[in-house]
Structure 1
Amino acid sequence: MEGQNNSQVAVVMVPFPAQGHLNQLLHLSHLVISYGIPVHYAGSTMHNHQAKVRVQGWDTESLTKIQFHDFQLPPYTSPPPKPDLSVPFPAHLQPLFDISTHLRKPVSELLEQLSAKCRRIIVVHDSLMASVVQDVKFIPMAESFRFVSIPAFSQFFSFWEAIPESDKPFQIDPSITIPRCIPFGEGMITPEASRLAADQMKFWGFESGRIYNTSRVIDGPYVELLEKLSGNDSETKHFVLGPFNPVEMTGSRKTHRCLEWLNEHEKGSVIYVSFGTTTSLTEEQIGELATGLEKSGQKFIWVLRNADKGDAFDSAKDGYPKLLEGYEERVKERGIVIQEWAPQLGILAHRSIGGFMSHCGWNSCIESISMGVPIAAWPMHSDQPTNAVFITEVLRIGVMVRDWEDSGKLISSATIENVIKTLMKTKEGEEMRKRASELGDDVRKSVAKGGATSIEMDAFIAHITR
């Protein structure tokens, strides 16, 4: 079906304004345009720019085929505060999240314009942007699909745990793995973020289906549980189309210095350390991590950045996190510290990478899985603690840095050293690496022509162009 002319059908992507969400729907946009279908990516001017600058794995020509619609957000009532390092959740971004609901009017106007010249409009919206696209139900021949930005495992159990035991509609088959302790609730998000999510859930229900950035190879049983939880709602389609990110790095992007550094090291010898775009570590925790990396004797690439502010490109203006004096000089033979945006997909795809110490945002998890790299799980907030359990206890391709119940405590250099050695230098770690490699192979086969994910993607395209 690739390359067919579907110009009478237009797809409109409406992402949530946080990097992990922006990135996933921009990856999906590239997949959809490969079928010859126009894609409109609708967001604020600032966030569209952020998404384009940071996307990896696609050539420049592919990016130019996507039509970006840059909308203005209302001004903040006050300047967004700097990150509060005592709060793991990025509460400093809450004003931005709140005003994102004001995109309803420009998005609605865009849909009206497209409806005048298209046979069908398909709106793919983030779960947290449902109120913004609610007017789709008033447009003839338009339908929407709710994008689920976390694994089916985490989505299912967030719903399941909220249902009283007496009201659960079915029993889970005992053959399906249910970890002993799945973290939910206090400490994962702020009350303000919880209210935003609850407000958006009120607008769920008018969509034609759901789209997942995961693979049935990865968490098929939990997708099936979500389908079963939909009950008699047979009209709701579930399309499992991930990973959206490229699984082979062929994009014509400039080579980063860290990739050149990796070329000098043997296969599987380097651990990659990065905690995403919404986490800032305290100075004390940075010191413990630096010491743990040094004492482990392991080669490493460490991305050490401040959390994104409201404007991600302003983050560096407050300076960079401080390292111990003389640290980079001491470790220069086997370690490199990066304090700018790093090409994560390229790093994870490199043969020299043998492990990933990660916050377990789903973007990072599925990229790591795609490349067959095991994870040292250090979750910070939101879905990350649940994703970490999925990685370590269900898929068994990683080790936990610390249990979520200890999330408020400083993690010592000794603990970090031991985790790195476990993942990179023990028999247990070798088994994790083997499982991760095998899962990565299966995922890459699934997205190849004729694979299960490729067939499901064809089915989605056939559905929206019917």
Structure 2
Amino acid sequence: MTTKGEGSGATHILIFPFPAQGHMIPLLDLTHQMATHYAGRISITVVVTPKNLPHLHQLLSVHPSIETLVLPFPSNSKLPIGAEHFNDLTLPLFLALIRALGGLHDPLIRWFKSHSSPPVAILSDIFFGWTHSLAAELGIRRIVFSPSGALSLSVLYATFRDKPQRKDVVSFPDIPNCPKYYWSHLSSLYRRYVDGDPDGEFHRAGYVDNIASWGLVINTFAGLEEVYLDHLKKVLGHDRVWAVGPLKPIVDDDQTGPTNRGGSFSVPVESIVSWLDKCDDHKVVYVSFGSVAVLRNDQMEALALGLEKSGVHFIWAVKEPAEAQLDDGYGRVPLGFEDRVVGRGLVIRGWVPQVLILGHRAVGAVLTHCGWNSVLESVVAGVSMLAWPMLADNPVNATLVVDHLKVATRVCEGVQDVPDPAVLARLLVESVSDDRPERQRATRLREEALQATTDGGSSVKDVESLIGHLIALGTTSK
């Protein structure tokens, strides 16, 4: 076990991110914001396992005062050696990873009791519900960090609290607008719990503990999900719910744009910008399914054919499949496709500067899996969405942006569906038309997002409130 640095008498906070890019990035962005604006008033320690330490290098280079608590990854027979990060794992191994990280309970207890100025609160990812009991054991507060939105979290909490039984469609009448979802769209953790997964009760207990925790920080903003934020306050029975989004990424030293958020880019940023600079305003479609989903080859072929038929300019970010996935028929760009679309299409394999691409004047729409980070980044960029929800919170997020906010059009749904290339081509063309109502709504929503994160905005006020509560905890404990 290693740590770096010591607190200076400021209120000490422990940050515990879950090692998946969609979870880790926003919590580290929040950590950056807290360290930037409240230096001297709070001190921060971030919990990390050795293989995930490189994901903190960017943050630590900007804020060397942040402490790190590097804990050995707990041994687990269900996980392959060296597996400490979700993005490299299948669903069963992902569930095993959550369970394995529960093994950090005792090392955290020992560290806390040996520290000269231990934290007064732990801000931990939603997958770490067990840290509520840890905090209670230590006599401190636990705050949940949700990288997903308020509607998604409302559905998730209702699922684990009410324990619906398996049926074709599950409704949630207590949630505003009474959302309904197919059984397959509910949390995979919950469905496995119902099916008798050996670790199912551990996962369900974690969500029950999330509901019981002292506070909730959520990466959203009032203008986007106010009705669901109000609902969560009713469910939790208190007002310690802080909407702090859209969380802003760390920027380069010259303040001109985001740094390598989440990893090194697979192609030079300059070459992407140069390609976009040659395109007309709002005429490029950006295609990405996030850091987890890999399309089957038949889906890849349908998507490629739709892009080819449409004639639109596009950037397609392709997640590189694992070797086993390639052998099983996943992730192959159709042979000859790139040659046929040369000049108007750019295929990028691996990690891409998504925030930079979405913010470029040439991009008018995004075909997305509706991961929450991608939704928020699209909102901030003011681009309309073509929704193809895949896993996890994607179907619920799609409900929000398609049915409620009406800034998106649904083109496909689920990991099994294959789009009709002709229909997809038509939707791609329509997505970059100048009179698209979704674009007009997206532009208005962008203005609300920017207002929320400027001085006096709702999210800025919520961060201030969060810090004030934390400092009050520190004062009480002294």
TM-score between the two structures when normalised by the length of structure 1: 0.82
Cα pair distance change 1:418/1:106, threshold 3 Å: farther
Q: Aligned residue for 2:383?
A: 373
Aligned with residue 458 of structure 1, among 454, 461, 464 = 464
Q: Aligned residue for 2:356?
A: 346
Aligned with residue 310 of structure 2, among 284, 289, 296 = 296
Structure 2 residue ranges without an equivalent (≥5) = 1-6, 84-88, 165-171, 195-199, 261-267, 473-478
**What is the CA-CA distance between 1:80 and the residue it aligns to?**
4.5
Aligned with residue 20 of structure 1, among 19, 22, 37 = 22
Larger relative contact order (Cα-Cα within 8 Å, sequence gap ≥ 6)? 1
| Matched residue type, 1:418 | R
Equivalent pair of 1:247/1:371 in contact (CA under 8 Å): no
Distance 1:113 1:331 in 2: 61
Count of matched residue positions in the alignment of Structure 1 and Structure 2: 431
Equivalent pair of 1:29/1:66 in contact (CA under 8 Å): no
| Matched residue type, 2:154 | F
Cα pair distance change 1:342/1:193, threshold 3 Å: farther
Structure 1 residue ranges without an equivalent (≥5) = 83-87
Cα pair distance change 1:17/1:192, threshold 3 Å: farther
Q: Aligned residue for 1:69?
A: 69
Q: Aligned residue for 1:85?
A: none
Cα pair distance change 1:370/1:33, threshold 3 Å: same
Equivalent pair of 1:121/1:143 in contact (CA under 8 Å): yes
Aligned with residue 210 of structure 2, among 204, 207, 217 = 204
Identity %: 24
Q: Aligned residue for 2:107?
A: 106
Q: Aligned residue for 1:127?
A: 126
Cα pair distance change 1:117/1:301, threshold 3 Å: same
Distance 1:92 1:171 in 2: 33
Equivalent pair of 1:276/1:361 in contact (CA under 8 Å): yes
Distance 1:395 1:128 in 2: 28
| Matched residue type, 1:455 | K
Equivalent pair of 1:183/1:385 in contact (CA under 8 Å): no
Distance 1:336 1:218 in 2: 32
Q: Does 1:237 align with 2:256?
A: no
**What is the CA-CA distance between 1:96 and the residue it aligns to?**
2.3
SS at match of 2:129: helix
Distance 1:8 1:52 in 2: 22
| Matched residue type, 2:354 | Q
Aligned with residue 29 of structure 1, among 21, 31, 35 = 31
Equivalent pair of 1:372/1:440 in contact (CA under 8 Å): yes
**What is the CA-CA distance between 1:278 and the residue it aligns to?**
1.4
**What is the CA-CA distance between 1:281 and the residue it aligns to?**
0.9
Distance 1:345 1:73 in 2: 31
| Residue correspondence of structure 1 range 263-278 to structure 2 within 5 A | 263-278=277-292
Q: Aligned residue for 2:3?
A: none
| Residue correspondence of structure 1 range 76-95 to structure 2 within 5 A | 76-77=76-77, 80=80, 90-95=91-96
C-alpha distance after superposition, 1:175-233 (max 9, x if no partner) = x6455x44455675264477253131243355221111100111011100111223xx3
| Residue correspondence of structure 1 range 43-442 to structure 2 within 5 A | 43-49=48-54, 51-52=55-56, 61-62=61-62, 64-77=64-77, 80=80, 90-114=91-115, 116-118=116-118, 121-132=120-131, 134-140=133-139, 142-160=140-158, 163=162, 177-178=177-178, 181-185=180-184, 189=188, 191-192=191-192, 195=200, 197-204=203-210, 207-230=213-236, 233-234=237-238, 237-246=240-249, 250-251=256-257, 253=259, 256=269, 257-306=271-320, 321-403=331-413, 408-425=416-433, 427=435, 430-442=436-448
Distance 2:143 2:322 in 1: 28
SS at match of 2:69: strand
Distance 2:136 2:370 in 1: 35
Equivalent pair of 2:129/2:207 in contact (CA under 8 Å): yes
C-alpha distance after superposition, 1:97-148 (max 9, x if no partner) = 331221222333333344x325x522111121021453222334x3110112
SS at match of 1:357: strand
Cα pair distance change 1:17/1:418, threshold 3 Å: same
C-alpha distance after superposition, 1:299-339 (max 9, x if no partner) = 11111113579xxxx99999993322222122121111111
Identify the range of structure 1 (347-356 vs 299-308) with the bigger mean alpha-carbon deviation. 299-308
Distance 1:31 1:420 in 2: 36
| Matched residue type, 1:145 | I
Cα pair distance change 1:205/1:6, threshold 3 Å: farther
Distance 2:370 2:258 in 1: 27
Equivalent pair of 2:121/2:135 in contact (CA under 8 Å): no
Distance 2:177 2:211 in 1: 29
| Matched residue type, 2:411 | V
Cα pair distance change 1:259/1:286, threshold 3 Å: same
SS at match of 2:316: strand
Equivalent pair of 1:397/1:435 in contact (CA under 8 Å): yes
Cα pair distance change 1:343/1:122, threshold 3 Å: same
Q: Aligned residue for 1:449?
A: 455
Distance 1:47 1:342 in 2: 20
**What is the CA-CA distance between 1:7 and the residue it aligns to?**
4.3
Equivalent pair of 2:29/2:250 in contact (CA under 8 Å): no
Equivalent pair of 1:359/1:384 in contact (CA under 8 Å): yes
Equivalent pair of 1:299/1:335 in contact (CA under 8 Å): yes
Identify the range of structure 1 (323-332 vs 209-218) with the bigger mean alpha-carbon deviation. 323-332
C-alpha distance after superposition, 1:72-114 (max 9, x if no partner) = 22345256499xxxxx983443332331221222333333344
C-alpha distance after superposition, 1:131-176 (max 9, x if no partner) = 1453222334x311011222111222344466599xxxx9869xx6
CA RMSD of aligned residues (A): 3.4
SS at match of 1:145: strand
C-alpha distance after superposition, 1:27-56 (max 9, x if no partner) = 11111101113222212222332x347x7x
SS at match of 1:464: helix
C-alpha distance after superposition, 1:412-440 (max 9, x if no partner) = 3223212212322374xx11111111111
Equivalent pair of 2:250/2:258 in contact (CA under 8 Å): no
Cα pair distance change 1:274/1:464, threshold 3 Å: same
